[in-house]
Structure 1
Amino acid sequence: MNIETKAINTIRLLSVDQVQKANSGHPGLPLGAAPMAYTVFNKMKVNPKDPEWFNRDRFILSAGHGSSMLYSLLHLYGYGLQLDDLKNFRQLGSLTPGHPEYGHTKGVDATTGPLGQGISMAVGMAMAERHLAALYNNELELINHYTYVICGDGDLMEGISNEASSLAGTMKLGKLIVLYDSNSISIEGSTDLAFTEDVKARYAALGWDVQGVSDGNDIDAISEAIDRAKDTDKPSLIAVTTQIGYGSPRAGTAKAHGEPLGEEGVLATKQAFGAGEGSFIVDDDVKAHFEAIVARKQAAYDADKHTEERYRTKYADNYEKLQRALSGDFELDLFKDENYYKFDKDMASRAASGQIMNSIADNFESFFGGSADLAPSNKTHLDKYANFSASTPEGANINFGVREHAMGAIVNGIMLHGGLQSFGATFLVFADYMKPAIRLAAIQSLGSIFVFTHDSIGVGEDGPTHQPIEQLAMLRAIPNHIVFRPADATETAVAWNVALTSKNTPVSLILSRQTLKNIDGSSRDAQKGAYIVKEPKQVEKIIIATGSEVSLALEAADDTTRVVSMPSRALFEAQVEAYRESILPKAVKKRVVVEAASSFGWHKYAGDEGKLVTLDEFGASAPAGDVYKFFNITTEAIKVALNELK
């Protein structure tokens, strides 16, 4: 047995041991895919001693259920995972959770698990690399790296992966290399039950360079395929035929996928690979082999750092700009200027947002995002910049096409890559398509920005299919996520301040299609989530409203009613108790909550004695004013609710 075969078998058996000890996990993928993973890691430009090195190659295990294989690799390559960490696989507080978690385990470049998200985030990473290279490279290549993915059949069944792959082909992301673990098995049995398409033909049609490796154990063939993939300007799919659970008694069966092999199965597997009965074994020659691989990588790292030093000396301003971007220090002095928050005319918050975004972009080269074919409606086009494309990679406007699912994941991938501030935009009702990506942004503590316009029944004639009702409640339910629905242009300016300074929390901006009045009393206090916009001499009642309904609340308020604008419940809940009490005193129980959306979640603020002017049914097709009247979201309805308070 040569040393490479022994090294691969060590990856396999460490993975099997992790699953068996935890009595939970997925042994099938590591047994079949270890040779391709070993080959990819050997070829990757990385330095385990500097795992955050910006110009490193990225690796995404899109089939995140195979995490034990990734942890085995990270241990063997010296990323800091110890054997004790592998022995704590899937245990509370361990560095080896059930699916890879970004920011938790060194060497993990993305949190994966929900199938299709990983490969889609990888598209964002490849886009970020291409864009930054266009911005900063000259005769010195400061940015030049690949994004590698290992995905499975399940990833390619999910529709999100096709959306993202279609865009990758259109953009000719030649530094994206995907290895497809084609084992023809899913949880229910053979993939033929539900997946008989020609994947290679599909990817060729999407504009990818496609290769096949017929034997998943042939590391020379896999290596040659990766080398060929680097010679094309297209993204690459390398379909590697493997056997799930290779070497185990369950090889080639669905039963190999998602449960431990059992003690007898583990022993039989080790015997098949010529290994002893011991668990978590790494022989000295295998350890030395991996140390030698890592040592060889040092030369590429040193050469890259030398180039970086030359760049820093010759192009100091550009280098400093990039370093600030990488650290998230964008120096947006615009937010300190009081004039930034002042507007001389009424406008829809989407229009105010568009104006604000372009003001920001005038001196902010790190903006990189776009809309799902709705930029004219979302007002998210950055006028100073070209569109990002295969021929104009320096362009900052991304044309995502009608691909909301992929857009969310791609934005996350750009943020994971670093050096850019990304955003994606669509109508609020289509947040449903993006929820999994928004959730992953929150889990990964990414500062992704999601712009949602057409925020209410104010959409009008487009009718119930396009009028969001329950979407705000859904978005607000996501932990570590700021939902901000501004009441006017000033609050919209505050919203963008919040979005660009919330480094570890994704922000969803909820913007109107219809014109909103500029409110006397709106201010930067909106960044606290809720504040007083109208204060009577004596407070007997409180109206709490958001967005376009704040104007209605102001019209309805009498001389004893305080009006509170609450653009962000999450930000309000983050304030100290004394501030929250000053805005919503517990002693004032006569309250009305107003929002042209679901009542879900508002009872907390209305209290047992309060009233809700909300909407718990789907909308209707008619002009916006008529729809508001039909569903009784009006000044008169608020006055009635106030009068009914006892």
Structure 2
Amino acid sequence: MAKGSLTEREARLGANTLRMLAVDAVERANSGHPGLPMGGADYAFLLWHNYLVFNPVDPRWPNRDRFILSAGHGCMLLYGLLHLFGFALSLDDLKNFRQWGSRTPGHPEYGHTPGVEVTTGPLGQGFADGVGMALAARMAAERFNDAIFSPIDHHIYAIVSDGDLMEGISSEAASLAGHLKLGNIIYIYDDNGITIEGKTELAFSENAGKRFAAYGWHVQRIDGHDFDQIDTAIGAAQSEKDRPSLIIARTHIAQGSPNKHDSAVAHGSPLGAEEVAATRRNLHWPEELFYVPAEVRALCEKRKADMLSVHREWERNLALWRRRNPDKSRLWDEMWQRKLPTDLADSLLQAVGGAEGATRSLSGRIIQEAAALVPALAGGSADLEPSTNTGIKASQSVSAGAFGGRNIHFGVREHAMAAMLNGMALYGCFVPFGATFLVFSDYCRPAIRLSALMGAQVIHVFTHDSVLLGEDGPTHQPVEHLSSLRLIPNLTVIRPADGVETALAWTAALTRKTGPTALVLSRQKLPVLAREGTFAPTLVLRGGYVLVSGGDKPDVIIMASGSEVSLAVAAGKLLAEQGINARIVSVPCLEAFSAQPQTYRRSVLGGRAPRVAVEAGPGALWWRLLGAGGLFIGVESFGASASEKVLAEQFGLTPQQVAERIGEYVSRKQKRKNFLRTK
């Protein structure tokens, strides 16, 4: 072979070790996908032994190659590689494949298994994650590499499947990767011709190579079981600097199995005892389960030792680089550690001052200050920057060959944008944000769910937040979207009501490093809220706080978020004219407020006063705070095309209409209370 010290016999022995580890693990679990690990073992073992740069002792080393198994159902291939090449994954972990509490779950999970770069499961997500990682790597290299030493010079590798290429997200991501000339991408397409239902030709007959060539990719076709072809193709891909590479490896699913070779049944089911025995005979493999030949152990230990030496050399060069580049060295620490100034909240509050306006516009002002304070912050929109106000004015746009900017043009590609943000966040160095209209969060949901699952710090800016956006009509007016986002575990959803809350919302998003944040912003202008003397900005971070006290014993508690807070304030003034004292509670983050200690929630929501919630959306999630006898005023149907003013009237969201409903509600409550007293 062209590179590395492996002989073909050694490569075959290593690949067969991977095959049988996968077979044994799936068989013991009586669950899993043996076909892909068996089919991809040849190119996977050679890639890791000859080319992949890694450090099992420090799996987060910044200059490691990233390896993504986008076809996550074949995870036993990845687990076998991690075990053989010295990561903290034992043979017992492999034996506990798919079991409760094991480190080898049914699909790879970031943060759960050492060496897993990203959680993959929904096909296509890993493909797009890798494009985000490659973009982040190019942006980091632009900032830190000098003429003497390149702290960042690695590749992003992935194994992708037929299913990955069928999913639309991969087309979006591949198009942008080709446009940006991300030559640090090397993807191996496991072209085994089999899906769950049978042969891929049932639904997939396109020429994938020509498609990717049209996207601007460097495309090679090889026999995925021929080690010389594999070696040559990976070497050629590494030499290609201006085009992402796709190596189409024609393989046989369940390679080595005499009777289930090229069979759809091997995709997602154990081989069965008889076929496992037949496979062992066919590969001349011992009867011992989870057998790893001593020769393979030695080969992998040698590769591990070589990689540790590479890492030590990189650290020596980095120390010299730091002495030559003190400014870059400081920037390196700030970005990789995602450092924040201690006065972040105060600075962002000053950026908006006492200005009124749409929260999307106020957010745009805050982004300028945040970008000046947090060099790791970078992002863009899905071709909507003039509407989302997310451009960083002091920075250039990212483009092919010019990666020093911080404004990313994702194009009309919400699917890929959200997943690429995940890849950038997991890569490290950057705090990425992406923007689109709230109604298009539907396109982003799969990736948002995964970032929440992974605990990745991603910031989503969703503007045009309700039916009140106006004449664009119901196709663009979100209704259920706010509630649906709130249902995602570990996603913080913040809907601010004015500049103060918007500044604190950005503070929360930049501070929160354990999961994604969605900022939900208005298109329409909102007034500056008048707050009582006891207000402290930090109360916003608790998710809910008293805006207007309504006296020591208010007659009604009115909760609201976003644009409906000022509506609630206006309605409260009308109620006061009727002798009804209303406490107005702003709840920018329903989840954060619900998670507060009961003593705090009681102090905000008062005692037995009836409760009302007002929000331009469904009320299902508000009932946790309203209780059985509460009143919700919102929108439970689709919107319509009309002006903001007409829509507010038609949906009962004017101050007069809200005050009238609340007044009637309080009156009924009072009559019932008086009636019960007389009984």
Query: Shorter chain as normaliser: what TM range?
Result: over 0.9
SS in 2 for 1:85: helix
What is aligned with 1:578? 599
What is aligned with 2:47? 40
Task: Find out whether 1:18 has 2:25 as its counterpart.
Answer: yes
Letter in 2 for 1:641: R
Task: Give the C-alpha shift of residue 317 in structure 1.
Answer: 3.1
Task: Find out whether 1:542 has 2:576 as its counterpart.
Answer: no
With normalisation by structure 1, the TM-score equals 0.98
What is aligned with 2:634? 614
Residues 307 and 265 of structure 1: CA distance in aligned 2, closer, same or farther (over 3 Å) = same
SS in 1 for 2:433: strand
Task: Give the C-alpha shift of residue 337 in structure 1.
Answer: 4.1
What is aligned with 1:353? 363
Task: Find out whether 1:520 has 2:536 as its counterpart.
Answer: no
SS in 1 for 2:239: coil
What is aligned with 1:405? 415
CA-to-aligned-CA distance 1:288-312 (integer Å, 9 cap, x gap):
1111122222332232122111112
Q: Answer with 40-49 or 25-34: which moved more.
A: 40-49
Letter in 2 for 1:295: A
Task: Give the C-alpha shift of residue 613 in structure 1.
Answer: 0.7
SS in 2 for 1:563: strand
CA-to-aligned-CA distance 1:33-56 (integer Å, 9 cap, x gap):
011111221211111122111110
Q: Answer with 344-353 or 571-580: which moved more.
A: 571-580
Q: Answer with 378-387 or 531-540: which moved more.
A: 531-540
Alpha-carbon distance in 2 for matches of 1:195, 1:499 = 41
SS in 2 for 1:491: helix
Alpha-carbon distance in 1 for matches of 2:294, 2:55 = 21
What is aligned with 1:96? 104
Letter in 2 for 1:26: H
Q: Answer with 271-280 or 9-18: which moved more.
A: 271-280
- 1:244-323 equivalent positions in 2, closer than 5 A: 244-248=253-257, 249-323=259-333
Letter in 1 for 2:10: I
Task: Find out whether 1:590 has 2:610 as its counterpart.
Answer: yes
Letter in 2 for 1:525: L
Task: Find out whether 1:421 has 2:442 as its counterpart.
Answer: no
CA-to-aligned-CA distance 1:68-114 (integer Å, 9 cap, x gap):
11111111001011111000000111110111111111110000011
Alpha-carbon distance in 2 for matches of 1:447, 1:246 = 40
Task: Give the C-alpha shift of residue 423 in structure 1.
Answer: 0.4
- 1:469-484 equivalent positions in 2, closer than 5 A: 469-484=479-494
Alpha-carbon distance in 1 for matches of 2:36, 2:341 = 45
Letter in 1 for 2:320: R
Alpha-carbon distance in 2 for matches of 1:533, 1:589 = 16
Q: Answer with 193-202 or 274-283: which moved more.
A: 274-283
SS in 2 for 1:387: coil
Alpha-carbon distance in 1 for matches of 2:184, 2:342 = 32
* 8 Å CA contact 1:592, 1:641 repeated in 2: no
Task: Give the C-alpha shift of residue 341 in structure 1.
Answer: 6.6
Task: Give the C-alpha shift of residue 211 in structure 1.
Answer: 0.6
Alpha-carbon distance in 1 for matches of 2:348, 2:442 = 36
* 8 Å CA contact 2:618, 2:634 repeated in 1: yes
SS in 2 for 1:347: coil
What is aligned with 1:239? 248
Letter in 1 for 2:462: F
- 1:57-456 equivalent positions in 2, closer than 5 A: 57-139=65-147, 140-213=149-222, 215-232=223-240, 233-248=242-257, 249-331=259-341, 333-337=343-347, 339-340=349-350, 343-456=353-466
SS in 1 for 2:470: helix
Alpha-carbon distance in 2 for matches of 1:225, 1:338 = 50
* 8 Å CA contact 1:369, 1:422 repeated in 2: yes
Of residues 10, 31, 45 in structure 2, which corresponds to 1:3?
10
Residues 445 and 500 of structure 1: CA distance in aligned 2, closer, same or farther (over 3 Å) = same
Q: Answer with 363-372 or 330-339: which moved more.
A: 330-339
Letter in 2 for 1:178: Y
Task: Give the C-alpha shift of residue 370 in structure 1.
Answer: 0.2
With normalisation by structure 2, the TM-score equals 0.93
Identity of aligned residues (%): 46
Alpha-carbon distance in 2 for matches of 1:46, 1:305 = 14
SS in 2 for 1:515: coil
* 8 Å CA contact 2:355, 2:528 repeated in 1: yes
Alpha-carbon distance in 1 for matches of 2:347, 2:430 = 23
Alpha-carbon distance in 1 for matches of 2:480, 2:373 = 37
Letter in 1 for 2:620: F
Task: Give the C-alpha shift of residue 384 in structure 1.
Answer: 0.6
* 8 Å CA contact 1:341, 1:490 repeated in 2: no
Letter in 2 for 1:204: A
* 8 Å CA contact 1:429, 1:467 repeated in 2: yes
Alpha-carbon distance in 2 for matches of 1:221, 1:304 = 30
* 8 Å CA contact 1:116, 1:154 repeated in 2: yes
Task: Give the C-alpha shift of residue 589 in structure 1.
Answer: 4.6
What is aligned with 2:624? 604
Task: Give the C-alpha shift of residue 324 in structure 1.
Answer: 2.8
Q: Answer with 427-436 or 566-575: which moved more.
A: 566-575
Letter in 2 for 1:136: F
* 8 Å CA contact 1:124, 1:413 repeated in 2: yes
* 8 Å CA contact 1:429, 1:468 repeated in 2: yes
Q: CA RMSD in A?
A: 1.3
Letter in 1 for 2:608: V
Alpha-carbon distance in 1 for matches of 2:600, 2:370 = 30
SS in 2 for 1:578: helix
Letter in 2 for 1:628: A
What is aligned with 2:674? none
Alpha-carbon distance in 1 for matches of 2:129, 2:472 = 32
* 8 Å CA contact 1:368, 1:420 repeated in 2: yes
What is aligned with 2:673? none
Alpha-carbon distance in 2 for matches of 1:78, 1:286 = 12
5+ residue gaps, structure 2: 1-7, 670-679
* 8 Å CA contact 1:121, 1:410 repeated in 2: yes
Task: Give the C-alpha shift of residue 335 in structure 1.
Answer: 2.0
Q: Answer with 599-608 or 344-353: which moved more.
A: 599-608
Letter in 1 for 2:548: K
CA-to-aligned-CA distance 1:204-232 (integer Å, 9 cap, x gap):
0001011110x211122112111111222
CA-to-aligned-CA distance 1:289-348 (integer Å, 9 cap, x gap):
111122222332232122111112221332132123212223363324485275233110
SS in 2 for 1:516: coil
SS in 1 for 2:68: strand
5+ residue gaps, structure 1: none
* 8 Å CA contact 1:529, 1:567 repeated in 2: yes
What is aligned with 2:474? 464
Q: Answer with 275-284 or 329-338: which moved more.
A: 329-338
Alpha-carbon distance in 1 for matches of 2:346, 2:25 = 52
Residues 297 and 393 of structure 1: CA distance in aligned 2, closer, same or farther (over 3 Å) = same
Task: Give the C-alpha shift of residue 460 in structure 1.
Answer: 0.4
Alpha-carbon distance in 1 for matches of 2:264, 2:356 = 61
Alpha-carbon distance in 1 for matches of 2:343, 2:496 = 22
Letter in 1 for 2:430: L
SS in 2 for 1:461: coil
